[in-house]
Amino acid sequence: MYPVPEVEGGAAYSTGGITKLYALSGIDGLWPKHAPLASLQCYLCVYRGIRLQRRRAGEHRKSMAQYSVLDLCSVREGSDAAESFRNSLDLARHAERWGYTRFWLAEHHNMDGIASSATSVLVGYIAGGTDTIRVGSGGVMLPNHAALIVAEHYGTLATLYPGRIDLGVGRAPGSDRVTANALGRSLDREEDFPQQVRELLGYLGPERPGQTVRAIPGQGTNVPVWLLGSSTYSAQLAAAMGLPFAFAAHFAPQDMVEALLLYRRSFQPSKFLAEPWSAVGIPLVAADTDEKARRIATSLYLRFLRMIRGQRLVTPPPVDSMDGLWTPQERAAVEMRLGAAIVGAPETVEAKLARLLRDVEVDEVIFVSDLFFHPDRLRSYEIAMEAMKRVGEVRAPHAF
């Protein structure tokens, strides 16, 4: 039985974030209560040697950060899912040659601009077309499925591609509420997420005495299970269960610092991990010049704008300027969602990567680069890897 954090109001640390940070950091009474959360987070960087965000000079972690890819199989305007699948495989092959650790795909439903709904099928497609890169889900929305079925699917993949499959799981619908209902999802299943995770781990682990229901294949494959999330709830749950944790800063960066702090400070060693292992998803738009990067990034801005407006999510071509295409309120909303984005030329990307790795202690950065033109996308990931090498944070690929 794995420990589960106490949950108030359906989500651990769902309210009173600043108060919780005071309690966790031990600085209550030393910082003004009216100060912005961002200021408090910056103060946490240096107080009492809490170095989650900024390392001491000369201090080195046992291992340097790894770098990976999250792919949504985005469908661009005027194209179709078949082209997206071909491009995803081509990207995975390039990423493998460039030394990326893993290639993940994300489950979404009823979104005409995202073709990764049958996630396990695509994981097999990518794994079958590559040789060494790890492939997995980033992630499967577990309340949409029976844990047994998920274990069977990923157990089958692990049998076909031993040592290369990951299983990231989350609790969000990956769709709107109407679509979630069509999937047979209920609020009860969302609230029972910790139990679903325990059940999944049981199906993938060694067979237990008296176990009557088994995942075949799946039982004993020990596929690595990650918890994914964009809140402190998922971070706290991953820490309590002793599982790796990936934070979705590529669309919801607001809780990134707090969630990663909670995960590392609350982590309980388990049979899965002796020490915490965290990753962060980061939007990436890299090009040969800052000017080009800013221009091709407009496809990303327009797509998020469409999401805010409830419009089709196919990836639009870039534009010369966003002026007149969004209101000030819409611009603020898009920029908030993309607050962690790295956009720029090689030197700019290098500087921003170095700052990220100084400010947020993670074991892995998972890049999301959804651009209109496939060659631009390939170049974006290539520049990121070149920048990583110059930053000096790359290590030989290794995964648990």
Specify the higher pLDDT residue, 135 or 48: 135
pLDDT at 11: 30
User: Considering the domain boundaries, does residue 262 fall inside one?
Assistant: yes
User: 354 lies in a domain?
Assistant: yes
Neighbours of 355 (CB within 10 A): 12
235 within domain boundaries: yes
Same domain assignment for residues 34 and 103: no
Asked if residue 32 and residue 122 are part of one domain, the reply reads: no
pLDDT at 173 over 80: no
At 190 the pLDDT is 55
Tell me: do 40 and 151 sit in the same domain. no
DSSP result, 149-212: HHHHHHHHHHHHSTT-EEEEEE-S-SS-HHHHHHTT--HHHHHTHHHHHHHHHHHHSPPPTT--
Least confident of 6-15, 108-117, 292-301: 6-15
Q: What is the mean pLDDT of residues 222-229?
A: 96
Residues 33 and 147 both lie in one domain = no
Task: Work out the average pLDDT over 302-325.
Answer: 93
pLDDT score at 229: 93
What is the arithmetic mean of pLDDT over 246-274?
93
pLDDT score at 182:
67
Same domain, 118 and 32: no
Question: What's the pLDDT at 389?
Answer: 83
> Looking at the structure, do residues 135 and 214 belong to the same domain, yes or no?
yes
**Domain presence at residue 83:** yes
State which H helix or E strand residue 147 sits in.
Answer: helix 147-160
Does residue 253 lie in a domain region? yes
CA distances from 231 to 24, 265, 303, 336, 344 (A): 16, 16, 23, 15, 28
Q: How far apart are CA 266 and CA 334, in angstroms?
A: 32
Nearest in space to 244 (alpha carbons), one of 200, 279, 194: 279
Q: Tell me, yes or no, whether 43 and 159 share the same domain.
A: no
When comparing pLDDT for 14 and 323, which is higher? 323
- CATH number of the CATH domain containing 359: 3.20.20.30
Based on the fold, state whether residues 44 and 140 are members of the same structural domain: no
pLDDT at 235: 95
Q: Are residues 38 and 181 in the same domain?
A: no
Please, which pLDDT band fits residue 177 given cuts at 50, 70 and 90?
A: low
Domain membership of residue 56 (yes or no) is no
Q: Which two tokens stand for residue 100?
A: 């990326």
On whether both 107 and 184 belong to a single domain, the answer is: yes
One domain, residues 42 and 98: no
Pair 94, 154 in one domain: yes
Number of domains in the chain: 2
Write out pLDDT tens, residues 68-92: 999 999 999 999 999 999 999 999 9
Are 296 and 285 spatial neighbours (Cβ–Cβ below 8 Å)?
yes
- pLDDT for 13 equals 27
Residue 3, C-beta contacts closer than 8 angstroms, at least 6 positions apart: 240, 241, 268
Q: Is residue 365 part of a domain?
A: yes
Residues 32-49, mean pLDDT to the nearest whole number: 35
CA atoms within 13 A on the CB side of 384: 31
Q: What percent of the chain has pLDDT over 70?
A: 77
Q: Where are the beta strands (DSSP E) in the chain?
A: 66-71, 102-105, 134-141, 165-170, 225-229, 245-247, 278-286, 342-344, 364-368
150 - beta bridge partners? none
Per-residue pLDDT of 319-359, as tens digits, reads: 999 999 999 999 999 999 999 999 999 999 999 999 988 88
Chain segment 349-398, per-residue pLDDT in tens: 999 999 988 888 899 999 999 999 999 999 999 999 999 888 864 443 44
How many angstroms separate the CA atoms of 291 and 5, rounded? 47
By residue range, what is the domain housing residue 39? Answer: 17-49
d(CA 232, CA 221): 29
- Looking at the domain assignment, is residue 314 inside a domain? no
